[in-house]
Amino acid sequence: MTSLRRRLVPYGLLGPGAIWLALFFVVPMYFMGEMALRSGTFDTGFTFAWEWSNFADSLDGREQQLIRSFIYAGTATLIALAIAYPLAYAIALRAGRWKLLLLFAVVAPFFTTYLIRTIAWKTILADASPAVDALQLLMLVPDDGRVLATSGAVIAGLTYNFLPFMILPIYASLERMDVRLIESAKDLYASSTQAFLRVTLPISMPGIVAGVLLTFIPSAGDYVNALLLGGTGQSMIGNVIQSLYLQQRNYPEAAALSFLMMVVILGVVIAYLRLAGTGAFMGDEDEAKT
């Protein structure tokens, strides 16, 4: 009796949450796939018909947006990594008593709505704003050029909005590092650069891998930055899906495109994890400790 009860305890704890996730994450994925194979119109209703052509139709004429999504997201991820690594390093290893304050500043943006932050960037990057004047003075933007409604503005928005997701995992991996490892490397006559490349960087790798994924995935699916900061020539695949679902109400084609996007992103993620060779993202690292 007791042994049976003991064995049932974990399922009792796990059950409610697992059921919620199954019902409202897994099952909806099934319905999205099913919706993608329906045919019909909004007025007559959509019926299931193995309509495979939805997939081809959904991509037709939207190659540009698809490619753009991956280029924008990729660029934003790389810039975010470049900004985040030194910052995470400084917070984890050099900040001393400023550590908590800096960490706090990193997550502070979360407490103003995503949308408001993006609109704030629209204000900052508006034509003839002080920031744009400064960029023109530095010859980074032509005198008669603008920043809003360019690819640069969308990439800048993506970089900014998902930056904390890059900083926090890298910070967490550096924070856990034993500083004595660097000291011993130096005792063994490693230069600072060597110590960084051979000790610090490998230790922070799981953080980098997790950060890259957590930045790339939401960036690739984003449509708010392209909508608010970009022009007509900057729309991403998220904008297409959004418009198909909520404006054109062509649900099957919208579902087909979402499905394809998920498959492509999953493919990229799996390939990347194979390459990076780490289970950090799955929490395996933490698992090993218990």
Partner 1 sequence: MSVAWSWLRRNALLLYAAVAVAYMLLPIAVVGLFSFDRTRGGELDYTWSGFTLEYWRNAFADESVNDAMIVSLQLAGLSTLGSTILGTLMALALVRHQFRGRRLSNLLIVLPMATPEIVIGAALLSMFLVYGLQLGFQTLLIAHVMFSISFVVVVVRSRLIGFDRSLEDAAADLGARPLTTFRTITLPLLAPGIVAAGLLAFALSIDDFVISNFNSGTTETFPLYIFGVSLRGIPVQVNVLATMLFVVAVAGISLVLWQQRRAERMAEVRPEPPVGTQAAPVRPIRPGQPTAT
What is the token pair recorded at 278? 């780490």
Nearest residue (CB) to partner 1, 199 versus 255: 255
Binding flag, residue 27, partner 1 (CB under 8 A): yes
How many angstroms separate the CA atoms of 61 and 66, rounded?
10
Of residues 226-245, those binding partner 1 (CB under 8 A): 228, 238, 241-242, 245
Q: Minimum distance from CB of 4 to partner 1 (Å)?
A: 13
Binding flag, residue 28, partner 1 (CB under 8 A): yes
Q: Minimum distance from CB of 98 to partner 1 (Å)?
A: 8
One-letter identity of residue 255: A
> Binding residues for partner 1, how many (CB under 8 A)?
87
Judged by CB under 8 A, which stretch of 54-62, 136-144, 185-193, 260-268 contacts partner 1?
260-268
Nearest residue (CB) to partner 1, 188 versus 277: 277
Q: Vertex 231, ends 230 and 233: CA angle to 5°? A: 105
Binding flag, residue 258, partner 1 (CB under 8 A): yes
b/e code 170-199 from CB counts within 10 Å (16+ = b): bbbbbeebeeeebeebeeeebeeeebeeeb
Nearest residue (CB) to partner 1, 108 versus 271: 108
- Which of 59, 78, 126, 203 is the binder for partner 1 (CB under 8 A)? 126
Of residues 43-62, those binding partner 1 (CB under 8 A): none
Q: Which of 276, 263, 259 is nearest to 213 (CA)?
A: 276
- Which of 53, 59, 78, 89 is the binder for partner 1 (CB under 8 A)? 89
Q: Minimum distance from CB of 188 to partner 1 (Å)?
A: 24
233, 31 contact by CB (below 8 A): no
CA atoms within 13 A on the CB side of 152: 9
DSSP string covering 176-208, please? TS-THHHHHHHHTT--HHHHIIIIIHHHHHHHH
- Which of 113, 191, 192, 194 is the binder for partner 1 (CB under 8 A)? 113
Q: Minimum distance from CB of 239 to partner 1 (Å)?
A: 10
How many angstroms separate the CA atoms of 284 and 35, rounded?
35
Judged by CB under 8 A, which stretch of 55-63, 107-115, 134-142, 185-193 contacts partner 1?
107-115
Strand ranges in the chain using DSSP code E only, listed in sequence order: 38-41, 45-48
DSSP tag of 162: H
How many angstroms separate the CA atoms of 140 and 134, rounded?
9
Binding flag, residue 223, partner 1 (CB under 8 A): yes
- Which of 195, 220, 226, 229 is the binder for partner 1 (CB under 8 A)? 220
